[in-house]
Structure 1
């Protein structure tokens, strides 16, 4: 019996005390995960020749650091460690990136972009952007929260510009600020394999060649960014009331002579015809076209959804680009521009129709009133 008691006391003495547990909890709570998006071309500056630099960072700062592989212009740098060491790591990485880009720019400022869950963005922005203004002033850095989630994810980007040390401290300050506010709703981490060049202006990612981003934004008939393209491409070739009458042709404008627009932009839109006729299905799946539909202005709110939730969901579910033009005063119609392959466009049109029907809006009655 006494032996049993002795064993019990020994077990208790070997088990962590409450104080030890609190210490372990504090140590765990001090750790943070940072998810950066970088240009693929900048990955070498972080990894180093033969991986020497990233090994040094892991060893020196006792942190987990991963640079994901990607065939797109973007990669992720995922770091896990305590707050102080993460500040040092990001500063170290930032200085390497600034040095590596000296040939392209003479600026010493660092630009880094990191990911947070969409539901946490409001904590950074605050009412009427009051918190964001406060952070900019207190952290002495240029901070921007991009409005859209990264493609097929629930994550948004925050861009921070400033001296490397200040950028690192700002990123960790924001992550510490968000610690008491865990993500709400579905969590879909951004994968660079889902990169979408045409969504870059909205979610804040990187182009294949960032130096040429202005050219890329204006390479489709002078349309500017993705939203601007949707507005500028209006003309006589629109579809009415979600009817599928043709695919709209080229990006150069939907004028009455569709064939001329299609020929002018054929090289940009149509991929090379495969030499193997059996791959015609593959050709159709990657063929991107643009379609426009006109809806009564009263339906715009239904299509957009609360805080843009419905139109974002349609984009994510179909992979198509879906944009609604700006509301001009007194205009009875709004134009929706859909871009993608035939299947993406068809699915987007279907979901748009479902949005209209789910709203129990008497669409046929509205058409008569407008005609």
Structure 2
């Protein structure tokens, strides 16, 4: 992408639920880079739909990070500029009301076909060049999420992206705390000692997921959902699509730890698709 567009493209650190792609250069190189990104996202949507019962293709969605002092120019007097952008490009444009955490920037979400998005980005760049930011901008920096720790089979794991990674230090600490008592892996409810339950009883939790994200959570031939089932130790059932509904019901059964890990992994897949 860097070579073909001629733009500088940087991607922020990967230990956060969101990563920021910064594209720098003359406007024509920026449009080329945005075009390549938009078409790549469309390709991902088409691939994720190959297993999905959804028939209508969801739009490509990008979230831009814009200094708040420039958002007024993007909206225009009485919303005139944003209305003009929507009408002339066919893209949906939304400017967030609040600033992003610990920054003076706001999110501008654009969605539509790749062609509509590229035209919209062109118009946004023109406005940003005509109205430079006023005062100092405190850039938005996504914060790493506090990493959940999962104990299973006497091992401690931390969640990194979509994977549970063994953590030797936490495992040692965990074994010390357990004082070498037999530890029942998650998902087994047989008591290790009479009268003592080694893991909490199974419970059920329901999640609602938009239809346009379900394909990405299921994965090609169910690979992703099976991976989530294996990693979390939870039972996961996805209800069939209801006519006229834009959402699907997911039922997760297991211990509270199984359920919270399954939820985390499902949300991480959905978030990964949306970014």
- TM superposition score normalised by structure 1: 0.36
User: Higher Cα Rg: structure 1 or 2?
Assistant: 1
More strand by share: 2
- TM superposition score normalised by structure 2: 0.48
More helix by share: 1
